[in-house]
Chains A and B, each alone.
Chain A
Amino acid sequence: MKKVFSRPKSLRKVSMHYCPGCGHSIIHRLIAELLDELKLRDKTICVPPAGCAVLAYYYLDIDMVEAPHGRATAVATGIKRVHPKNLVFSYQGDGDLAAIGTSEALHAANRGEQITVIFVNNAVYGMTGGQMAPTTLAGQKTTTSPFGRDPKIEGPPIRVCELLATLHNTSYLERVAVNSPAHIKKTKNALRKAFEHQKKNTGFSLVEILSPCPTNWRMDPLQSCKWIDEVMVKEFPLGVLKEVKC
């Protein structure tokens, strides 16, 4: 019988610790599939984040170095400058990239570092227990915005792709989601494109992935997927925000 589905080689044979319905496990799998397909596993160096996905290094079977919270793009910069031929990507959450690490991300993008950022936006701080993130939606209740985020006081959510699109040296910016099979397919394509851009040294690439966090959204997995479609994409429209010629 022909085998049509199997575990990617770049994904270790261990069960993941993520909550049921969490987007991280899907994203990990997509990365692993791509590294297999593009035959990049033995050329890749990944900088995982502080947050739920810090344990990505137990799941992805590739070279990894942990970064202090928010500093992944700076660490990735150091690595890529020493190994310009390797595929170097960071994997960061919304607090990591859009709050504590904004400066590092913005300047790496502005310098046009030849790295890829996989930016997982689930609108909350997951690991620390669901506090308000820079991408928390207006009115969204979290453990530190118990009455809902008030944009007048807490500011509106930050749109990272739009922000980075204004910078000259960004080469590929796309926002996708992992809440349905069709969207997951698009996410994989976006990641493929970002990696291809990096291979051709076109500049800084980032894929923003809207990802469910049922635990901290206080929803079940299905509701979470629906919430992305019905609420989240209104604030964070999906699509390619920038693509230079590759």
Chain B
Amino acid sequence: MNKQLMYGTHAIGEAAIQAGCTCYFGYPITPQNELPEYMSRRLTEVPGGVFIQAESELASINMVLGASVAGARAMTSSSSPGISLKQEGISFLAGMELPAVIVNIVRGGPGLGNIAPAQSDYFQATRGGGHGDYRIVVLAPASVQELADMTFAAFDLADEYRVPVMVMGDGMLGQLMEPVVMPVRKKKKLPEKDYILTGAKRRPARLVKSLILDTKAMEDHNWKLMRKYRRIEQNETRWESFLLDDAEMVVIAYGTAARIARGAINRLRREDESIRVGLIRPITLWPFPTDVLKKASQKIKDFFVFEMSAGQMVEDVRLALDGSGTIHFYGRPGGVVPTPAELARSIARHYYQSQRKQKK
């Protein structure tokens, strides 16, 4: 397909359609309304396309549940407060092992917060979000092209493992206009959907549920889910690194923050050739690239975590490093998007301090 200039939210929508998504259910909330608006038009052109502006977030995620158990590729999208409301349904989807794609265009919080770009839903997303022992796959794009690619990939991941998959961006990515090449669906071998409900014709009746009253059976189900999550950790962990070879300090940032971090690192290296800073950018927030950090810590001792939150991913970094290396942190919560120059100043300060300490 040709390169086209697209808004982030529209790229998500189009990529979903290209991935075979036929059902969208959602409830308006800023800053992601352009996505349901796009889908409301676009799905009329898709055979079997269903668009419902639901009465609530609760209803939309449960419509996704219904469409998913009926065998369709279904999605919903929202922003932070709305995602909180969807957690009940996400927990059910996880327990019932149903695929679904959920887009969260994160805004500042807690509460109503504001509509500015933020990364303060990291805990909620990477710990499952709702009640019970479960995880969901969380993808963190950093460009419009990646919004498209990851939304597209999310549907395959969801079907492959029968899990909800979240694409987590923010209002800046959503509003950005960048050139995109739309991914094209190829034949991919995915597990047969032998659980879907179509009416029990020439087969025994099927039952999809999350209620397991017997504690032993519930425990078995939990361990089964955990085994699946281990498989996802092994196969699907994604990250990217930048200027890591000679780095003495590595910045860890994802999504929009990773873009800013790249800018800051380029700037620092340009201004002072002796500065050796690189970047590790988690692309999947869950599964988190723990092993990559562990490996990096054999050589590098300084880790600089930058998040547009008061510090959430930094806890995963701490867990991954397990005491090896020093963790520095720069956080901007509340919807503040620092400039690369601001970030560069903070990185430089920590970098020089650390170098001085090492010399002593």
- A interface residue numbers (CB < 8 A to B): 41-45, 47, 54, 57, 60-68, 71, 74-83, 86-87, 103-104, 106-107, 111
Q: Which of A66, A75, A106 contacts B211 (CB 8 A)?
A: A66
Indicate if the CB atoms of B199 and A86 lie closer than 8 Å. Answer: yes
A79 CA / B23 CA spacing, docked (Å): 11
Chain B residues with Cβ under 8 A from A78's Cβ? 23, 25, 62-70, 74
Q: Which A residue's beta carbon lies closest to that of B206?
A: A63
Contact A104 B23 (CB under 8 A): no
Q: Which of B55, B64, B66, B199 contacts A76 (CB 8 A)?
A: B66
Query: Does A57 contact B207, Cβ atoms closer than 8 Å?
Result: yes
**B205-A62 in contact (CB<8A):** yes
The chain B residue sitting closest to A62, CB to CB, is B205
Contact of B205 among A54, A61, A83, A87 (CB under 8 A): A61
Q: How far is the CB of A67 from chain B (nearest CB, A)?
A: 7
B residues with a Cβ closer than 8 A to A are: 22-23, 25, 48, 50, 52, 54-56, 58-60, 62-72, 74, 88-89, 92, 96, 197-202, 205-211
One of A42, A67, A82 near B71 (C-beta < 8 A)? A82
- Give CA–CA (A74, B65) in the complex, Å: 9
Known: A74-B66, A83-B70. A45 touches B50 (CB 8 A): no
Write the nearest CB–CB distance from B274 to chain A, whole angstroms. 58
B66 touches A65 (CB 8 A): yes
Say whether, besides A66-B209, A66-B210, A81-B52, A71 and B58 are in contact (CB < 8 Å).
yes
Q: Which residue on B lies nearest to A69, using beta carbons? A: B88
User: Given A62-B200, A75-B63, A82-B50, does the pair A107, B55 have CB atoms closer than 8 Å?
Assistant: yes
- Is the beta-carbon distance between A42 and B200 smaller than 8 angstroms? yes
Q: List 12 A-B contacts (CB under 8 A).
A: A63-B198, A67-B62, A71-B62, A74-B60, A75-B62, A78-B64, A78-B65, A78-B67, A82-B71, A86-B198, A104-B56, A104-B58
Nearest CB on B from A224, distance (A): 27
Considering residues A74, A103, A106, which has the most beta carbons from chain B within 10 angstroms of its beta carbon?
A74
Minimum CB–CB distance from B50 to chain A (whole Å) comes to: 4
